[in-house]
Amino acid sequence: MAKGIFVFAEVKDGKIKNVAYELLTAGRKVADQTGEELAGVLFGKGVAGLADSLGEYGADKVYVADDDQLAQYTTDAYSKVLADLIKENDPSAVLFGCTVQGRDLAAKVAQKVGAGLLSDCIAMELEGGNLVFTRPVYSGKALLKAGIPEKSPVMATVRPNVLAAAPAPRSAEVVNIAVNLDAADLRQVIKDVVLQISSRPELTEANVIVAGGRGMKGAEGFKILEDLADALGGAVGASRACVDSGWIAQSFQVGQTGKVVSPTLYIACGISGAIQHMAGMSSSKCIVAINKDDEAAIFKNADYGIVGDLFQVVPVLTEEIKKVLK
C-alpha cells in the first residue's frame, strides 16, 4: 500500500518557495480524503530549521536531507537522494512546483523510479479515488484532465500561484535522511553562482506582473513599466520579441519558450497576444491589456482593455495607483 503524498519543498536564498505551501494545502485536502500521510521533502545545507514551516501548512512528516553535498542544487545529487527516498517509502504521489528546478528534478526522478510525469498542471483533485490533474494544452487553448496508472507514483509539476496556500498547523515529525553519494553521483560541480539583485519579486512567483511587447519600441521604454511594477509591488516581464531584439534579458521572457506565470494581475503593454505568449500567462487571474490597436488579439483574452498609446496611458495609471496606495 502506498504510504502517502510527498511535496518537494524547493529552497532559494534560505527560504522555501511559496509554491511548496500551495502544494501542501492541496495535498492536505487529498490526504484527508484518502487517509494518507502528507510529507514535505526538504533538501539543502542548513535547511533543518525550515522543517517546522512545512508543518504549519499541513505536513504530517518532513524528510530532511541536510548535507554539504546538497548545498547547491545539482540534478544528479538531488535526483539520487530523492529517488532513493521514493523507492524506500513508496508514496502514492510526488508533487513539485513547476519552476526551473522543479521541472528539471521531476523529470530526472521520474526516469529513475520508472514513474509517469504530468507537467505544467494548474489543478488537482480526486476523481473516483484517483488523483487527476488539469493542464493546459495546445498553447493554452484547451484544458486536459489526466492521471497516471496505479502501478507507479503519480508525479506532477504544478504552476506557482494557481493553488491557494492556507495554514493548517500541526506538529510535523522530522525524519533526517542519510545522504549517501559517491563521485558518480556528483558529476556536476557548481563553481560559482552569479546573482542578479532586484527588489522585485521573482517572475514566476509574483502576484503582479507588468509585461511589455514589441510596442515598447526599445529598451528605454521599459522604464515606465518598471515604475508601474514598483508602484504595485510586482515584477516586470516581456514578450519574446523584446528579448530577441536585445531590449531586455531572456530571464524576463514570458511565454511558451520563456517562463510560465500565473499572477493575480497581469498587465500586458504593447503585446499583440500571440499564441506563444498567451501559453505562458493565460492562467493569470486577471489580465489587463493596453494597446493602441483595438483589433489586437490580446483583447480577446483580457478581462479589461485600454485602447490607447501605452506611453501616455501607463504613466497616468502609475500616478493614479500611487495616489490610491498612499
Q: Where are the domains of the chain?
A: 5-185, 203-324
Sheet containing 235-238: give its strands across: 235-238, 208-212, 265-269, 286-291, 304-307
In the chain, count of helices (H) and strands (E)?
9, 17
Query: Which H or E run contains 174?
Result: strand 173-176
Within its chain, how far is the Cα of 238 from the centroid? 17
Q: With DSSP H G I counted as helix, E B as strand and the rest as coil, what are the percentages for the chain, rounded to 5?
A: 35, 25, 40
**pTM of the entire predicted model:** 0.87
Residues in the chain: 326
Q: Which residue has the cell 487553448?
A: 141
At the topology level, CATH places domain 5-185 in Rossmann fold (3.40.50)
Please provide the average confidence, as pLDDT, over all residues in the chain: 93
pLDDT digits (tens, 9 = 90+) for 47-97: 999 999 999 999 999 999 999 999 999 999 999 999 999 999 999 999 999
Q: Which residue has the cell 501559453?
A: 279
pLDDT of residue 195: 66
Of 25 and 148, the one with more pLDDT = 25
Residue 163 contacts residue 98 (beta carbons within 8 Å): no
Q: Output the CA torsion sign for 85, 107, 111, 152.
A: positive
Residue 52 burial (C-beta neighbours within 10 Å; 0-12, 13-18, 19+): middle
Decide if 5-185 and 203-324 have a common fold.
yes
pLDDT digits (tens, 9 = 90+) for 244-290: 999 999 999 999 889 999 999 999 999 999 999 999 999 999 999 99
Is domain 203-324 annotated with CATH 3.40.50.1220? yes
% of the chain with per-residue pLDDT over 70: 98
Give me the torsion for CA of 50, 56, 61, 65, rounded to 10°: -10
CA distance 59 to 170: 7
Q: What backbone torsions phi and psi does residue 282 show, to the nearest 5 degrees?
A: -65, -20
Confidence check: pLDDT of 174 > 50: yes
Residues near 166 by beta carbon (within 8 Å), at least 6 away in sequence: 25, 57
Query: Which H or E run contains 169?
Result: none
